[in-house]
Amino acid sequence: MYFVFEAFIVKRFLRGQHKKFTFKNAIRIPLIEQLFNGITPFSTGGQPAQLFAMAQSGIDAGRASSILLMKFVVYQAMIVINFIVCLLIGFQYIQDKVNYLMVFVIFGFVIHLAVIIGLLMIMYWYAFTKKLVAACMLVVKLFVKGDKFERLNTSIYSKIENFHKESLRMKNEKKILFDVFVLTFFQLAFYYLVPYFIMLSLGYTSVDIVMITALHVLIVMVISLFPIPGGTGGAEYSFAIVFSSFMTSHSKLILAMLLWRVLTYYLGLFAGMFALVMKPDKVEEVGLDD
């Protein structure tokens, strides 16, 4: 369902301009994203892979970049909102049971929050943000010299300018953004509920759905800090430590961890491989009517 909701998000963005953009094309996007997120450090390969997949379907590169940008902003915003709510619910448990993980949880939150603040600054305080970046680049210049610095400087300013231009378009598409916020909420909800349903399937019927879901949100935040593709090692360790208090049987805990990794990581990898070789349907641009 996680991938299905993201497919609907892509279709919502393209509803007016590409009416014949099929669900087959739409579902390829999150699956290919999942594949390249899963095999690259810090999930850095997902964005360019999505752009490539959309271009294969005949979507203009500029429009595809705009869609991916808006999708990213909404996704990051929902992650931060979910984290704040879940931190209030699960903070005491983490503090009491595995307080050493709290440092990673908070650090992960700070990174995601900084991304959102940076994007908002570009959207609403463009001139100030450019001056701030210019000041930061003076420091960077002390360590990065010559052509390498010039390439880095040009790349950063180009990305800032492109994001600002796309943010102006975002402000005029409030209805689309609202719909995407709602779809993203349900997309993340299905993902965060995975451990709860795994526990139910293993006979732990009395576990608190709110607490389990909140703790999973915090685990996901920790996983995002590990540079290894898929957060391998850190993901399994965090799951076992956090949920060991709810699952007294060690064998069931290991089984739950394996099922969780299959559903949240390996399933996406194999489905992404299949989507990568799937031939997309070409679409034609018909004009915006939103």
Query: pLDDT digits over 157-210, tens only?
Result: 887 887 888 777 777 777 888 888 999 999 999 999 999 999 999 988 888 898
Query: Contact, 233 vs 210, CB < 8 A?
Result: no
Task: Calculate Rg over the CA atoms of the chain.
Answer: 21
Query: Contact, 95 vs 204, CB < 8 A?
Result: no
pLDDT of res. 285: 57
Signed CA dihedral, 147, 62, 272, 238: sign only: positive
**3-state percent breakdown (helix, strand, coil) of the chain, nearest 5:** 80, 0, 20
pLDDT of res. 26: 85
pLDDT over 70 (residue 216): yes
pLDDT over 70 (residue 231): no
Query: pLDDT digits over 232-277, tens only?
Result: 667 888 888 888 888 888 899 999 999 999 998 889 889 989 888 8
Name the residue ranges covered by the structural domains of the chain: 2-277
DSSP three-state, residue 286: coil
Query: pLDDT digits over 35-93, tens only?
Result: 888 888 777 777 888 888 888 888 877 778 878 888 888 888 888 888 888 888 877 77
The rounded distance, in Å, linking the Cα atoms of 183 and 63 is 20
User: What is the per-residue DSSP string for 141-160?
Assistant: TTTS-HHHHHHHHHHHHHHH
